[in-house]
Amino acid sequence: MATITFLGAGSVVFTRQLVVDLLRFEDLPTLDLVLHDIDPDRLDVARGTALNVARQLGRDLRVRAEPERRAALDGADFAVNMVQVGGIDATRVDLEVPAKHGLRQTIGDTTGVGGVFRGLRTFPVLSGIADDMRAVCPDAWLLNYTNPMAMNVWWLAEVAPELKAVGLCHSVYWTVHDLCELVGVPLEGTHYRAGGVNHQAWLTEWSRDGADLYPLLRRRIAEDPGLERRVRVEIFSRIGFYPTETSEHSAEYLGWFLRSDAQVERFRLRPLEYLQISEDNVAEYEQARTVLAAGGDLPLHDADDAAEYAPQVIHSMLTGTPRVIHANVVNHGLIDNLPQGAVVEVPADVDADGLRPQRFGSVPTAGAALNRSYLSVAELTVAAARTGDPRLVRQAVLADPNASSTLTPDRIWALCDALTAAHARYLPRALGGTLDQP
């Protein structure tokens, strides 16, 4: 018997996907699934979703909805965190307020000014989760999906280094999946390995039957000039290795793309894109609630699309099935040319003995240079929350390549003041209020 707790289970579309993937493992024992969310309506829909999936798949599943977080975590073997502090309203603030100050973002959840403020309002919740886990499930694995991934896992390492916490993201898998599709090679049977930071790892190995597949990709790009208008293809052409995560995400991690109207048009970018994605997620939730209320069945994704790591990690640890995934963990000798103590993304072995990150060595030098800028933003954000120094918040945004390519320091200061005021209810008190210009 194993108990799995979903924190932020009101993200019912993601909850559905994780439950489907778990229950399709026929060799898993009957699971106890505990769902937690602070929104009672969403929690009720999440419970109905899990039961509906179990019935459709003909699997036994013990489901409990628990509005109290510590009670939800009591006795858990695995805690899956997908909490989004502030929900869609906070996401609107993260994107619309910078836009009013002249700063373009596409997604705003990983690094940069959107990632900084998402991290700052998430850290207090992570600290509370860590306190609860110490008290009622100290041996559980904390599987984090919440962005900003690197910042959140870094914060957990600061406040609760004794917990078994790992960050999970499907970006490496889907990058390889899509590249294989692009060059006409089946994904099955390929070998791949990536290292770097979350959403900006570098695909250093990609082969099939011992043959490097990068020449096929270069040939495919040369045959189709339209591909050169993709952000990731541009990064690949300059750095020499393909970056993980979509072009929409990748565009805002560097200072190359969103700095001018001409670049936005050239690379076919859509600033504020995540606003529509968020609205679509809300619409999906409403649709799921309507279907369940009418006694209908929710649509289930195909087994071929089961790419999420949390179900795979749980399956491997419970059954002993060995797997290799890519995981976000603290850099303790894993990547030589990135800061030790930072959070990096590397391959990891998973089985009944747990999760063990693989030593990666060095990432490509030019890629490491870009990773270090990303990690500087994360380091300053974590330091700001740890010390309560609001100046470090502004310095984190100053270090962001996208923000510094567009805004002057005084405008970055003003933007941070505006976001601090807008998010005041979620931020640590010491970081609230405006800060005088130097």
Residues that are catalytic: 170
**Site of tokens 């930071």:** 197
Tokens of 16: 């559905």
Q: How far apart are CA 389 and CA 164, in angstroms?
A: 28
8-state DSSP, 424: G
Report whether 357 contacts 333 (CB < 8 A). Answer: no
Q: Torsion-angle region of residue 338: left (phi > 0), alpha (psi -120 to 50) or beta?
A: beta
CB neighbours (10 Å) of residue 282?
11
Q: How far apart are CA 321 and CA 317, in angstroms?
A: 7
Report whether 287 contacts 162 (CB < 8 A). Answer: no
Q: How far apart are CA 241 and CA 213, in angstroms?
A: 12
Q: How far apart are CA 220 and CA 239, in angstroms?
A: 18
Report the b/e string of 18-40 with b at 16+ CB within 10 A. Answer: bbbbbbbbeebeebbbbbbbbee
Q: For strand 2-7 and strand 78-81, is the pairing parallel, antiparallel, or unpaired?
A: parallel
Report whether 34 contacts 1 (CB < 8 A). Answer: no
Q: How far apart are CA 413 and CA 95, in angstroms?
A: 16
Report the b/e string of 334-349 with b at 16+ CB within 10 A. Answer: bbeebbeebbbbbbbb
Q: Torsion-angle region of residue 356: left (phi > 0), alpha (psi -120 to 50) or beta?
A: beta
Q: How far apart are CA 254 and CA 116, in angstroms?
A: 15
Helix (H/G/I), strand (E/B), else coil: 28 = coil
Report whether 350 contacts 317 (CB < 8 A). Answer: yes
**N residues, the chain:** 438
